[in-house]
Structures are given as C-alpha cells and as structure tokens.
Amino acid sequence: MRPARLVILRHRGAASDAPTLAIVGKGVTFDSGGLSLKPTDGMLTMKCDMAGAATMLGALRAIALLKLKVNVLGLCGLVENMTGPAAMKLGDVLHARNGKTIEVHNTDAEGRLVLADALIWACKHESPASIVDLATLTGGVVTALGSTFAGLFCEDDALRGRLEQAMATSGERWWRLPMDQEYRDMMKSPVADILNSNPNRKAHPIQGAAFLSYFVEPKVPWAHIDIAGVHA
C-alpha cells in the first residue's frame, strides 16, 4: 500500500490580501473498502474514486490557463484504501487534527476521513474566504439522484448563489439536499465525538455531508458536492 499524501496547489492571480477560494478533492486512488470489503462488482470501478481530486486538478489547470485574476488553493488527500496489517479496524477511534475523535463503524467510509483532514488543514493554515469540496462520497447519492444530478450541500446563501451561477454557465447540474442539525446529531458516537458512518444507513449522502461539517470552521462558507453519480 502506498503512503498517503496531501497535495497542495496554489494559483496566485490576485493581490496577496485578496480572498482565497479553497477547492478540496477526495483522492482515493483505489478503494477496496478495507476490512469492510466491497464485492467484486463494486470494486471494479474503484480506481475512479479519485474523481474529486481529478476535478480539483482540472479546475486549477483551467484557472491557470485562463490566467484568472483570483487566488485559489487546491487540496487533495491521496490514499489507497486497502486491507493489510496497517488497515483500520471497525471500532477504532481516530483522533483528527482539530481534536475531534471518530469511531470507525465502516472502513468503506474512508473518503470522508481523507476530506476531513484536508478541510481542517485549509481552515487552520489558509483562512479561506470559502471552501468547495468535491467527492465521489456515497452510493446513496446515486440512489437518490442517479447520474443526472450531483448532490449539493451548502447552507451559505451567498456561496450557493455563486455556485448556481456557475451551474448555469457550465452546464453542470446539482440538486440541493438538506443538512439540518438532526442529521449532524445522527453522527454522534457513544465512545467518541462522532461516527464515520451511522449503521442505520438512513439519509446516507446527508450523513457524509453532516460528518464533514464537523471539520469546517463555522465562520467559513462551505459547500460539499457529492459527485458519485456524475463523475464518469
């Protein structure tokens, strides 16, 4: 298994004191499911589980080629999710760099752990004006929206408005899904701060977004886009 890496890219097209947009991508280069092993058919396409990171790289390349006068930070966590002596175990409690503890209930919910690390890093070290993350995060969003719309989670009206303008310009499509406090409460653990996956599987794409919300500073406008159904 290859070691994990955090890739950091910067486009400095504006003044140093101008606002910075952070784009965070999930980069699981192969996802076996870990000890929560995927079935063969479900594993065949898992070299594509880095599509969020690939989307971030594509966006940064386009921004650079167009010489846009904006400041953009690109982050992606690159990992493989494999079995082996170093694999996570169900019941493990992980300590995130922002102090949150996470009980592992499903090793196949690994992408959100990778994103959490990058989101914390962005908030702590970069103070971005806003964050957009992209990830092939859940099969549940494919069940809900198929391959027509991505799932959008964004509680900030201004950021959501800018994303809607981008959608109209680009032709990409997403559908806003809710993320109330009840969903965040679903992620609480009796032995840690939160679970990485609630075993009841209710509202599974919203679970993923609710989990990530624990790793973004409340003052930072943030959007999560689950592209599991539309990345191909």
Which residues are part of the catalytic machinery? 38, 112
Q: How many residues does the chain have?
A: 232
How far is the C-alpha of 200 from the C-alpha of 215, rounded, in Å? 22
| Alpha-carbon distances of 137 from 17, 48, 159, 192, rounded to whole Å | 33, 11, 21, 22
How far is the C-alpha of 230 from the C-alpha of 232, rounded, in Å? 6
Residues 26 and 53: beta-carbon distance below 8 Å: yes
DSSP per-residue string spanning 67-94: T-SSEEEEEEEEEEE--STT---TT-EE
